[in-house]
Amino acid sequence: MIAVVPIPALSDNYVWLIHNEDTGETAAVDPSVDRPVLDAAKERGWAIGQILNTHWHPDHVGGNRGIKEATGCTITAPAAEAPRIAGVDRGVGEGDRVTVCGMEGVVWNIPAHTAGHVAYYFELAGMIFVGDTMFAMGCGRLFEGTAEQMFANMARFAALPDDVQVFCGHEYSLANARWAVTVEPDNAALAERLGEIERMRADRQVTLPTTIGQERATNPFLRAASVADLARLRSAKDSFG
């Protein structure tokens, strides 16, 4: 059985701990910090043996060195960004296979937020770790890429089964929902989701993971009709609030 636990870090990051209860294996996805992640694993009796990084930004790799020094874990990261990431043992890219806590997965190249950003898709487990490329009702800023690239990423995500769980890098759901309803004011599913997320965040609950089905119904970026439409939405979101 696979458990995935969110570890809040910094102001709004999540580090995801993956644990296989049968084998005892544990992996950390995008550790922005080291000590809180090590403490969270220790509290559960888990030993981190692997780190997965989706991209080079410091709030996703800042814990690499400390966790590796403490545990001797191996680090898998995008090959194109490996020189900017501490402690990488294996660089990966499109189509490479990974084994994490007994799960077999495939690497996707999903550039736009950063030039070498990757996702890790575990098809049989129905999970994808997308870093900062997609969020609940949002997508990442186009720091090192183009609207064309992000549109292609969204189309690729949208083709996945509805029940695939999407593990994002940040707790942006409330802000994204409040923006999304201004873009799609007649979307009943979106209005309902905003209310649900407002209740959850009022209780300080984690709103992730989301699912492909939820995003297909409520994420304006996943629903964009064209590259130009996505670019327009991204510009509007960048200046919102």
Q: Which residue shows structure tokens 């736009």?
A: 112
Active-site entry in 30, 34, 96, 132 = 132
Active-site entry in 34, 59, 96, 117 = 59
Q: Is 60 a catalytic residue?
A: yes
Q: Is 113 a catalytic residue?
A: yes
Active-site entry in 30, 34, 57, 117 = 57
Active-site entry in 19, 30, 34, 60 = 60
Active-site entry in 19, 34, 55, 117 = 55
Q: Is 238 a catalytic residue?
A: no
Active-site entry in 30, 96, 113, 117 = 113
Q: Is 59 a catalytic residue?
A: yes
Active site residues per annotation: 55, 57, 59-60, 113, 132, 170
